[in-house]
Amino acid sequence: MIEVKNLKTKYSYGDEFSVASALFENGRISGVIGKNGSGKSTLLKTLAGQRKYEGRILINQKECSEYSSMERAREVAFLPQSVKNLNMDVRTLVEHGRYPYHGNFRRMGEEDEKKVNRALELTHMKSFEKRDLYELSGGERQLAYLSMIIAQDSSMILMDEPTTYMDRIHQDEFFSILRILVKEGKGIVMVCHDIEQCFAYCDKIFLMEDRKLEYAGTPDVFTQNEQIIRRNFGIAMKKSEDEESVYPFVMKK
């Protein structure tokens, strides 16, 4: 669980980012939406301990700044929007997820190997484990990085637009994996670009506006207060009446 209270941070050009309060819970997928430049990525980076801040970020009831970097990585995993095309094979990448537990000086143990194998199997990337990352498609590479995050075995997972480079099949597979992780008690916070997808898969939605967290609620709550979405995106959302719709919520004018 991550709890935020009176969070503030400043950009290099002086503008301020702030969140009065927010609660990101385990066992849920929390989606963060907003226009470009609204502060979505900044929120994730700050929660991940990558930005200095004022206020409070409690990770499992302990202040974020009180964790060492390795201790924090055992609690919170972060998958940024752009992942590097590193010169290594998939399995080596996934093994990097175990770094917070042994650092540079301990070899992979039996427990580490179990975590890595389970991550590769869960993402259906086991058959790709000896493939170099540069040989993979964008969607396959994202699944490889998701495997690394799963192997890290943190209680909270932060992801910035993770399905950007995925086709529809890989996106469905990706969210099926996230649902398994949520059932196991993981908490997931993800920045979403696709509004319909966010409403379909997220249990709770957080709306960023002008570098502030302005509103939070379930998809149903957002459809009942359609002016909030309309003000930011020029459209509203409604439940689909078509049983053959791809998503349960669809856009409307």
Give the model's pLDDT for residue 128. 96
Classify residue 207 as exposed, middle or buried by CB count within 10 Å of its CB (0-12, 13-18, 19+): buried
How many CA atoms lie less than 13 Å away from 95 in the CB half-sphere?
Answer: 15
Give the model's pLDDT for residue 253. 82
Give the single-character DSSP code of 132: B
How many domains in the chain?
Answer: 1
How many CA atoms lie less than 13 Å away from 98 in the CB half-sphere?
Answer: 21
CA distance 159 to 207: 16
Q: Domain with 21 in it: what CATH number?
A: 3.40.50.300
CA distance 201 to 39: 21
Give the model's pLDDT for residue 112. 93
pLDDT averaged per 10 residues in sequence order, the chain, 253 residues: 93 82 96 92 92 93 92 94 83 94 78 96 96 90 94 96 85 93 97 92 94 92 89 89 84 86
CA distance 127 to 82: 24
CA distance 229 to 207: 8
CA distance 109 to 117: 12
CA distance 27 to 17: 27
- What is the 3-state composition of the chain as percent helix, strand, coil, each rounded to the nearest 5? 40, 25, 35
Give the model's pLDDT for residue 105. 65
CA distance 241 to 47: 38
**Which structural domain, as residue segments, surrounds residue 42?**
2-252
